[in-house]
Chains A and B, each alone.
Chain A
Amino acid sequence: MSVRRVMGAETEYGVLATGNAHANATVLSTQVVTTYAALVRRRLGASRATAGWDYHGETPLQDARGFAVPREQADPSQLTDVAPVLTAEEVAAEALRETGPHAESMDWRQVVMNTVLPNGARLYVDHSHPEYSSPEVTTPRDAVLWDAAGDRVALDAVRAIAASAPATGLDVVNLYKNNTDNKSVSYGAHENYLVPRSVPFDALAAGLLPFFASRQVVCGAGRVGLGDRGQRPGFQISQRADFFEREVGLETTVHRPIVNTRDEPHAERTRHRRLHVIIGDANLSHTSNLLKFGTTSLVLGLIEAGTAPDLALVDPVAALQAISHDPGLTTTVPLRDGRELTGVQLQRLYLEAARAHEQTTGGPDPETREVLELWAEVLDALETDPLSLADRLDWVAKHALLLGYRERDGLAWADPRLTLIDLQYADVRPEKGLYHRLVAAGRMRTLFGAEDLERAVGQPPADTRAWLRGRLVTRFPDDVLTANWDSVSLTLPGVRRGARIAMPEPLELTREDVDPLLSAAPDAEHLVRALAAARPALVHTGSLG
C-alpha cells in the first residue's frame, strides 16, 4: 500500500468585484478565464484562439451505485456535460450594459470560458466561479504543488485584470480560496482519486464516511460563524461542514452528500473509477493539503485491501457538524457499536490501521512514510497542544490569529473584523492575503517555494498523461483545437478533419513515453504521425494521407 495513486484537485475560487456590488459573477469569472487565457497565449506566442474544452466524456448524471439520473429529473446545475448556457455574446452584452462604451475595448470575440493550460490543468467558468482543476498527479506532494500552482494562476489573472482595468473600464476582480460567503452559499474544493472499479462502491462509502466526518481536524480551513449563514457566533474547524445534508448521493450543489457518487472516470471505464470527493475545504496550508490527499489515499488503500477499521457512525452528518463546531476537540460522536469517540480518536484508528497494513506489506515507501509520520505528529499535537500547529494547519493558524485579535481588542465572535480576518485569510494576493502574510513573516511552514510554484504553473507533472496534454498546448498552441481529460483534438493543415488522440490510461503518454516523439517533431503533424505509428490504437485521424 502507498499514498501513490492518480489524483487531482479542483478548486473553485470566491470571486469579488471590488467596488461593484451588482457585478454578475459569471461575467467576472469569464473575465478571469479570458484574461488568463490571453496571458498564456501571449507567453506562448500563439496567434489563434485558445484551445477549448471537449465535453465528450463528461457523465455527471452517472451514479457510481450503478444507475443514471434522467436529465429531466436533474438539477440544472448538475448538467456539467454541456457548455455553459451563457454565450460569449451574452457575456459581452452583460459587460456592455455594465460598463458602457469601455467594453468595446475588450476583444469579445476572444471570450474564453473553458481552457487547457500549459501545465495540463483546466481553467474554466464553473457556474458562477472560476475553477482551476489541477493536472493528474501521482503523489500527495504533487497534488499540493499543482493545486498551489492554481493559486498562482488565480493571482496572475487578478493582477492582469487590475493592470488592464483603466483601459478596459471593466471591474477589478479579486479571488478568494475559500468555500463560503457566510450568506448560505458554498462552493467546492473537490478532490479526485483513481480507484479500481473492482472495489464495490458500498465498501468505499462505508469506509469513507467516518473518515470524511473526522478528517477536518487535520485539513479543515476554519470558519467564523456557525450555520449556513454564520447566524450563530463562534469559530468552527471546517468551511464546508454546515452545507452537507446527506451521507451518500449524486448532487454537488444541492442536498450535498458526504460521499459523492458521480461516476465520471475520465479514463477506461471498465478498469477505473474516479472517486469524486466534495467534502473538503480549500487549503492554503501545504501541510493541511498534503495530509488531506495523503491520508485519503491511504484510507482508499485500506478499503481496497479490506483492512479499513470497522467503524460506523450513528449519524455521519451530525458527527461532521459536531466535530467541526468544537475547536476544543473534546466533543465525542456516537458509533453504532456504542463507542463515543472524538474526531482525533477516529483519525487515530485510521492511522493505526494504515500503519499496521504497512507493517504487513514490507514497510512504507518514502512518500508514504512522510504522510504517516506527519499524520501521527499532527494527531499527537492536536491532543496535547493544538495551538502548536498554528504554523502548519489552516484552521489552527486562522484560529490563533482570531484569538490574538480577541485578546488584544476584546472582540466578540460576532464582530465583523473577525469575519473579515476569516475572509481575508483566503485572499490570493500576497500583500493582502493573511495566509500569505503569515508565510512571509516566517510563521507558516511551506513545502514549496515561489520557484517551485512558478515551474508548476508552466509545466505538467511528468508521470501522467497530463504531460502530453500540457506539452501539446505549449508546443503547438495554434494546433490544439480542444482537449479534455482523456483526449486532445488537433487541427492539422495536412490532415483533413484533423486528429484526435485518445488518452484512456492516466499513467500512459507520460514524459518518458512521448518526449522522444515530441522533441523529434518539427510540427504537430509530424508528432501526430509519429504517435500514430507508435500507438495506432490511440490516434484517430480524418485522413493522414
Chain B
Amino acid sequence: MAQERIFGTGAQRREETELPEPGAPAPTAAQSQTSATSADDLLAEIDGVLESNAEEFVKGFVQKGGQ
C-alpha cells in the first residue's frame, strides 16, 4: 500500500508513531481501504484544480533571468 504510506494523514501517522501498542492488531482491510480511498480523494481533488492543458501551460511558463 504505497499510497497509504505516502498519503497517510497526520492523525494516522501520530497514531502509528506515538501509540505503538505492543501486539496491536495489524490494520484491517477496512482501514487500509479507507486510507487508499483518502489518497484517491486527494488526487481527485488535485485533478480538479490542475490547469487544464498541462503541456501548453508548462510551455508557457517562461521566466527571464533572476538572481
A contact residues vs B (CB 8 Å cutoff): 12, 14-16, 21, 25-26, 77, 126-129, 176, 180-183, 185-188, 190, 252-253, 278, 385, 387-388, 390-391, 400-401, 403-405, 407-408, 415-417, 419-421, 423-424, 431-432, 434, 437, 441-443, 445
**Residue from B43, B49, B63, B64 in contact with A405 in the complex, judged by beta carbons closer than 8 Å:** B43
Across the interface, which residues of A come within 8 angstroms of B6, CB to CB?
387, 390, 400, 403-404
Evaluate contact between B3 and A183: CB separation under 8 angstroms.
no
4 cross-chain pairs, A with B, having the tightest CB-CB distances, nearest first: A187-B66, A128-B64, A181-B63, A188-B67
CB distance from A358 to the nearest CB of B (A): 26
Give how many A-B residue pairs fall within 8 Å (CB-CB).
122
In the assembled complex, the CB of B25 is this many whole angstroms from the nearest CB of chain A, namely 21
Contact B5 A437 (CB under 8 A): no
Q: How far is the CA of A316 from the CA of B62 in the complex (A)?
A: 29
With contact pairs A403-B2, A443-B10 given, residues A437 and B49 touching in the complex (Cβ less than 8 Å): yes
B window 29-67: CB within 8 A of A: 39-40, 42-43, 45-46, 49-51, 54-55, 57-67
Report chain B residues within 8 Å CB of A185: 62-66
List 6 other contacts, CB 8 Å, given A77-B67, A441-B45. A127-B66, A129-B63, A417-B54, A420-B50, A424-B51, A442-B10
With contact pairs A128-B64, A187-B67, A391-B10 given, residues A182 and B49 touching in the complex (Cβ less than 8 Å): no
Closest residue to B41 on the A side, CB-wise? A441
With A21-B60, A77-B65, A126-B67 in contact, is A387–B49 under 8 Å at CB? no
A126-B66, A185-B65, A416-B55 given as contacts; is B43 within 8 A of A391 (CB)?
Answer: no
Distance of A412 from chain B, by nearest CB (Å):
13
Contacts of A253 in B (CB 8 A): 65-67
Residues on the A chain within 8 Å of B45, using CB: 437, 441
> Of all chain B residues, which has the CB nearest A391?
B10
Q: Is the CB of B43 within 8 A of A404?
A: yes
Query: Could you say which of B10, B13, B39, B50 contacts A404, with CB atoms under 8 Å apart?
Result: B39
Interface hub of A401, A420, A431 (most chain B Cβ within 10 A) = A420
Q: Which of B7, B46, B62 contacts A21 (CB 8 A)?
A: B62
> Does B63 contact A25, Cβ atoms closer than 8 Å?
yes
Question: Cβ of A12: which chain B residues have Cβ within 8 Å of it?
Answer: 66-67
Neighbour of A182 across the interface among B5, B42, B46, B58, CB < 8 A: B58
What band does the interface of chain B fall in when counting residues whose beta carbon is under 8 Å from A? Answer: 20 to 34
B contacts with A: majority SS: helix
Interface centre among A278, A423, A431 (most CB of B within 10 A): A423
A390 to B61, CA, bound (A): 26
Q: Name A's interface SS.
A: mixed
B57 to chain A, nearest CB (A): 6
The answer for the CA separation of A400 and B9 in the assembled complex, in Å, is 13
A423 touches B2 (CB 8 A): no
Q: How far is the CB of B1 from chain A (nearest CB, A)?
A: 11
Question: Could you write out 26 A-B pairs with CB less than 8 Å apart?
Answer: A12-B67, A15-B63, A16-B60, A21-B60, A26-B64, A77-B65, A126-B66, A126-B67, A128-B66, A129-B63, A278-B67, A385-B5, A388-B13, A401-B46, A403-B6, A404-B43, A408-B43, A416-B54, A416-B55, A420-B54, A424-B49, A424-B51, A437-B46, A437-B49, A442-B10, A443-B7
Known pairs A404-B3, A404-B6, A443-B10; A190 contacts B46 (CB<8 A): no
Is A421 in contact with B61, judged by CB distance below 8 angstroms?
no
Q: Which of B46, B55, B57 contacts A434 (CB 8 A)?
A: B46
Task: Tell me which residues across on chain B come within 8 A of A25, comparing CB atoms.
Answer: 63-64
Contact call B50/A421, Cβ cutoff below 8 A: yes
Residue contact B42 to A443, C-beta cutoff 8 Å: yes
Residue pair A404, B42 in contact (C-beta under 8 Å): yes
A401: B residues at CB distance < 8 A: 46
A14 with B67: CB separation less than 8 A: no
Closest to A397 in B: B6
Contacts of B13 in A (CB 8 A): 388, 391
Complex CA–CA separation, A75 to B5 (angstroms): 48
How far apart sit A176 and B51, CA to CA, in the bound complex (Å)?
Answer: 14
Question: Shortest CB–CB separation between residue A22 and chain B, in angstroms?
Answer: 10
> CA separation between A400 and B10, bound complex, in Å?
14
How far in angstroms is the closest Cβ of chain A from B7?
6
Interface contact A443-B58, CB-CB below 8 Å: no
Nearest CB in chain B: distance from A408 CB, A: 6
Q: How many angstroms between the C-alpha atoms of A183 and B61 in the bound complex?
A: 9
For A385, the closest partner residue in chain B by CB is B5
CA distance A442 to B45 in the complex (A): 13
User: Given A127-B67, A388-B13, A424-B51, A181–B62 Cβ distance below 8 Å?
Assistant: yes
The answer to whether B7 touches A16, judged by C-beta atoms less than 8 angstroms apart, is no
Q: A15-B63, A416-B55 are in contact. Are A441 and B42 (CB under 8 A)?
A: yes
